Chain A
Amino acid sequence: MAVGGHIVTGCAHTAIGTVALLGTVDGAAIGHDIALRLAGRVLDIVAHFPGRPIVFLVDTKGQALSRAEELLCLNGSLAHLARCVDLARRQGHVSLALVTGEAVSGGFLCFGLMADKTYALADTQVRVMDLKAMARVTKIPLERLIDLAAASPTFAPGVENYLRMGAIEAIWDAPSAALLEAALADQQAADSRVDERMARGAARKGRRLAATTAVIVASS
Chain B
Amino acid sequence: MKESSATRLPRRLRYFEATARNRVAAVMDAGTFREFLPPEQSQPSPHLAVLDIPGSFDDGVIVGAATLGDRPVLVIAQEGLFMGGAVGEIHGAKIVGLLQRAVREKPAAVIFMADSGGVRLHEANAGLIAISEIMRAVLDARAAGVPVIALVGGSCGAFGGMGIVVRLCSAVVMSEEGRLALSGPEVIETVAGVEEFDSKDRALVWRITGGKHRYLTGDCDELVDDDAAAFRRSAIELLNDWKEPSSSVAGLRAEQERLTSRCQRFDGLRDGLDVWRALGVTDPQQIPLMDRDSLVALKKELPA
Residues of A bordering B, CB below 8 Å? 32-33, 36, 39-40, 43, 46-47, 63, 65-80, 82-84, 86-87, 90-91, 105-106, 108-110, 113-114, 127-129, 134, 137-138, 140, 144, 148, 152-156, 161-162, 165-167, 193, 195, 197-198, 201, 207, 209-211, 213-220
CB closest residue in chain B, given A112: B132
Interchain CA distance A206-B100 in the complex, whole Å: 22
Interchain CA distance A69-B213 in the complex, whole Å: 14
Q: How large is the interface on B (under 10, 10 to 19, 20 to 34, 35 or more residues)?
A: 35 or more
Dominant secondary structure at the A interface? helix
> Could you write out 8 A-B pairs with CB less than 8 Å apart?
A65-B191, A73-B167, A73-B181, A106-B160, A106-B182, A109-B132, A109-B164, A144-B51
Interchain CA distance A86-B164 in the complex, whole Å: 14
In the complex, the answer to whether A110 meets B51 with C-beta atoms within 8 Å is: no
Q: Provided the pairs A211-B93, A213-B93 are in contact, do residues A140 and B51 lie with their beta carbons within 8 angstroms?
A: yes
Q: Mark B153-189, 1 if CB is under 8 A from A, else 0.
A: 0000000110111111000000000001111000110
Dominant secondary structure at the B interface? helix
In the complex, the answer to whether B196 meets A217 with C-beta atoms within 8 Å is: no
Interface centre among B46, B96, B119, B143 (most CB of A within 10 A): B96
- For the complex of A and B, the 3 pairs showing the least CB-CB separation, nearest first, are A217-B97, A75-B163, A79-B167
Q: Mark B78-116, 1 if CB is under 8 A from A, else 0.
A: 000000000001101110111011001000000000000
Cβ contacts under 8 Å, A219 to chain B: 101
Interchain CA distance A209-B275 in the complex, whole Å: 45
Q: Mark B261-279, 1 if CB is under 8 A from A, else 0.
A: 0110010111110010000
In the complex, the answer to whether A162 meets B125 with C-beta atoms within 8 Å is: yes
Q: Provided the pairs A74-B182, A106-B160, A220-B37 are in contact, do residues A213 and B252 lie with their beta carbons within 8 angstroms?
A: no
Q: Provided the pairs A43-B253, A219-B101 are in contact, do residues A195 and B247 lie with their beta carbons within 8 angstroms?
A: no
Interchain CA distance A19-B256 in the complex, whole Å: 24
Query: In whole Å, how far is B47's beta carbon from the nearest beta carbon of chain A?
Result: 5
Cβ contacts under 8 Å, B135 to chain A: 82, 109, 113-114
